[in-house]
Structure 1
């Protein structure tokens, strides 16, 4: 083993570079064809396409041509579906449904008048497509008869949001999830079961519907009919965790299948996320279980109600988008770990894995990456708080003394930092920084009570939990108390600003990517999905006007003393450019040191290679000046 060279923390040369991030493929939504073909959605910096691995040879082809595939509702997801080797996909350029023949790589446009669509599902007889549609204000479950020139028709509307449309194998029943303002789907949602009927000989119409699960104060996710048609499985949070339930459609009896304190679903920021699947013979359910940010694969035998973990032959710590092959012998998953960039894999029932597609062509030795430690500490109120701690790691360099710390605050705020591949975190750790990713109260992954703690407390307990996490590490000698930086994006950026307002001098600097500074400005034209999110996070504006002012950092910018680096996209529709420019004006007025970089062509994340190179170049200079220097 080569002896490591001693070099100052933060200045280690690293082979984890911005071009690695820019060239990472985003792989999602694996789905099997009836002949054993495996399809998936693959996004590069310029186009999102559907690829296919042919059965037998495994040869990879693009089958979507020039279409730009992706669901257009919520934050994406639900881009396409397949049945009998026909694909129905949403094209983000035309906003319409297209039918794709993957064998001939041809497509035809099925609709012409849609505004935004997601989550298409083909009927068992192949004659209809069910999907979610929105015109920006009115959402609904729509149906399109594939052989008819008539436009798609609404089957159900009246709720503010829809997700997870599903067909029963008999072709005459469907299920879906809905929710309404002012709720977010993880606070309260509804699972509906409906009967269909022929509508005067012209297509199908809704005959009746009834509530199957969910309701007041209960979140439900992902309905799935068993292939034999007897059961409807779904995820419900009625016991305080997202657990899998089974509804017998003959007796209407419900059974809770999982019971450990773990999450078996993800918050519905996206359309059509798959966390479990029935086996083709309906005897088993294969599912994903999240504990402490690590997601594992399990099998549940429905006859005995016995579950077992499928131990994989590779050390993957995060799995998502589960799909089972038609013969039931393999599962497809998107898999990653802290030291393994995401890849599409298949797994047999004994845990043997095969890599189908890497997200990066660049091989970086695994010892270049830091492996996180799930950690916890006690808040000022005596509650346990969770996070992931990454030590500095570089195969060629080490430092002396205690490392500087970067506290990274996730966005959402109803999200979680997982033990998956985090290129930004690894960029820092490979250069000699320690990183704490904080899953403050309000994060998902630790049960409903932990998540609901943020109700009315956004900008308060998230601030306290991030501060106490950094202090905990410093008190235990893990990091240099005098060299700490706090970093966040979007809602995490708000937390950064609040920390710098309330606790000046604790951190040497702040780093904010498209962060919120003024709640009052955001109330003027919020996206529909989050229109009433602040009602829950802070309170209804009519009742909590003072709180909106108190928790908007822009009104207390005079308290900020520490340098800030601010990065903003000019086309950001979620946190507009004026949010960044309000705080920049205040910092300028108060003569506080700052860096401001505006990327005119970027939105609510940075994707272009030139942007990422500029971002990390300026960030490195900023950190060297204010933390290392």
Structure 2
């Protein structure tokens, strides 16, 4: 029975207050919360300022102020994905500036001053060495264009900005961390072909009076044990997260031996896509405040390191990211199904929280929001009998509209990037944009996703383009069988690695009737040959060594099999993308157009891997909606600039 106040309109044609303009005008990205005394800092990525990243300070009284003046952009490009761009020391801020990648120092209201010299070097993940009046950080040197970038750990003198290499010889470094008295340095490193979630080693060395390192020794980790986030307790004991049990759990080094603190089937760590991320820390009494994930949801807890007892702290959040710990409070990025990401301060004594900044200021009536339902569905996997996969399902939701009786909604299958990443149940207006217009959405945590243990993540090893695609297909089939989706209006979309999954599903299977690729991979060989250093050997584990297994790369590359593709496709691409170069989208567009299928290609000048500018984010959302409207035969309620679609019948 229809609600008496609801209008009847086809799925997809519902009018919604969640417009693309509102999404970009009233939203910011939130990153790297940091504590300095009672003050809290974070970085805001502002689409309305051309994607500029701005450092924000929040004082103890809740008053906020921007620290980064116009003309500066607090963002590093180490590993291309960045992270760890910010370090606070009292009233002094050190940050990497995106334009020139130099480290700048800013004290009080004085304009930022360059600390490092100009050059083809990038810096990130710094710690302050007070004994020697220097920063210790990761440096990525791109000065020799004839070879891949060189990653080292360097010291930057705070007087003259000179750089001294402390550690070299490994392909990658992360997390240089000084002990409380400054006498020891711990760090992570790893080498090709590993990614940091495949295997890293944790090292420790003494810091001599002259600042050099002595007696370096490996204390944990291996080529198949990915150690994460070394941190020193106030008493000077080294802690870290290891996956030796099959789950990322907390450990410490005491009297030369490694001790598990709280063994459990839960993930206390995350993939190190960005430098500087944190999931635990120590409060003023030496207790560990930590976050951990189970079945896709994150929890906050206090851990007694001596007894191993875990005391959960009840919060309304199902996402807890970038946790930082102060004396008697913590700050983190929290999100929930009806509230988007926010900078949250939680008092450890009262266990009450305060939202300091919301990523989205747009207030949306609950009648327009779809609350996700976690689903587990059967899927196929040659290496795992009775395989199951995970996803979050969103039903269409709009208090003002209902669909004609007997019809089912179109379904959008979302595929996250990485592919070693994860979908969360946090409010995402880019999903609600679709559900409030009458689409159903399923956000798939396919095999290879993080948050379900190492065995689940490694289902994708050697099987990228197979396991992820099968899970996307089976999520759609599962919902069709439930009566929750129209089998003739199934679409698949994704960005980066998720874009590859979408392209592979459209090319090698006939389940989906349309799709969208955002800077997706169409040619695995090109990706293997042209990718930046951080991911240049990633496909060794996901696909196989190249060129030794060129046959697999060819067999799984959609660009070689466009003759199999039978569904309309829209592609979006940033023209400054160095992770997935624009040539990949162009080749796919040319091939699909030559075949005579409906296809559209939208290019964005000045955008890299992921869109940051408000006008481009808005255009992409609207163009995708327009495309589905033309393909599935409905008229969107929005006033959208038409998209040029080649080969579309009148």
Shift of the 69–427 alpha-carbon distance from structure 1 to 2, 3 Å rule, reads: same
- Indicate the SS of the match to 1:392: coil
- The C-alpha deviation readout for 1:507-540, integer Å capped at 9, x for no partner, is 1211111111112222332100011111111111
Contact 1:483 1:508 in 2 (8 A): yes
- Indicate the SS of the match to 2:265: coil
Distance 2:420 2:335 in 1: 22
Which of structure 1's runs of 4+ aligned residues deviate more than 4 A?
Answer: none
Aligned position for 1:31: 34
Aligned position for 1:433: 439
User: Is it true that 1:71 corresponds to 2:76 in the alignment?
Assistant: yes
Aligned position for 1:91: 97
Shift of the 612–80 alpha-carbon distance from structure 1 to 2, 3 Å rule, reads: closer
Q: Which of the residues 290, 294, 319 maps onto 2:293?
A: 290
By how many angstroms is 1:77 displaced?
0.8
By how many angstroms is 1:475 displaced?
1.2
- Indicate the SS of the match to 1:198: coil
Aligned pairs for 1:469-480 (under 5 A) are: 469-480=475-486
Aligned position for 1:9: 11
Aligned position for 1:172: 183
Aligned position for 2:319: 318
Aligned position for 1:454: 460
Aligned pairs for 1:80-229 (under 5 A) are: 80-102=86-108, 104-113=109-118, 115-125=121-131, 127-136=133-142, 137-147=149-159, 149=160, 151-199=162-210, 204-229=211-236
Distance 1:206 1:293 in 2: 41
Shift of the 65–255 alpha-carbon distance from structure 1 to 2, 3 Å rule, reads: same
Contact 2:125 2:174 in 1 (8 A): yes
Aligned position for 1:356: 356
After TM superposition, the structure 1 stretch with the greater mean CA deviation from structure 2, 609-618 or 477-486, is: 609-618
Shift of the 152–475 alpha-carbon distance from structure 1 to 2, 3 Å rule, reads: same
Contact 2:56 2:64 in 1 (8 A): yes
**Structure 2 unaligned runs (5+)?**
143-148, 635-650
- The C-alpha deviation readout for 1:195-228, integer Å capped at 9, x for no partner, is 11133xxxx1111211111013100110000122
Aligned pairs for 1:514-529 (under 5 A) are: 514-529=519-534
Contact 1:340 1:366 in 2 (8 A): no
Shift of the 607–383 alpha-carbon distance from structure 1 to 2, 3 Å rule, reads: same
Distance 1:260 1:105 in 2: 49
User: Is it true that 1:568 corresponds to 2:569 in the alignment?
Assistant: no
Distance 1:233 1:542 in 2: 40
Aligned position for 1:260: 264
Aligned position for 2:342: 343
Aligned position for 1:619: 624
- The C-alpha deviation readout for 1:42-83, integer Å capped at 9, x for no partner, is 12123212111122x321112233432123212111011123
By how many angstroms is 1:624 displaced?
1.2
By how many angstroms is 1:2 displaced?
7.7
- Give the CA RMSD over aligned residues: 1.8
Aligned pairs for 1:366-381 (under 5 A) are: 366-381=366-381
Distance 1:171 1:113 in 2: 29
- Indicate the SS of the match to 2:438: coil
Contact 2:531 2:580 in 1 (8 A): no
Contact 1:65 1:105 in 2 (8 A): no
After TM superposition, the structure 1 stretch with the greater mean CA deviation from structure 2, 264-273 or 292-301, is: 292-301
Contact 1:124 1:170 in 2 (8 A): no
Aligned position for 1:607: 612
Contact 1:12 1:430 in 2 (8 A): yes
User: Is it true that 1:49 corresponds to 2:51 in the alignment?
Assistant: no
After TM superposition, the structure 1 stretch with the greater mean CA deviation from structure 2, 124-133 or 369-378, is: 124-133
- Indicate the SS of the match to 2:541: helix
- Indicate the SS of the match to 1:523: helix
TM-score normalised per structure 1: 0.94
**Structure 1 unaligned runs (5+)?**
none
Distance 1:481 1:310 in 2: 43
Distance 2:168 2:118 in 1: 17
User: Is it true that 1:21 corresponds to 2:23 in the alignment?
Assistant: yes
Distance 1:362 1:20 in 2: 7
Residue-pair matches, total:
612
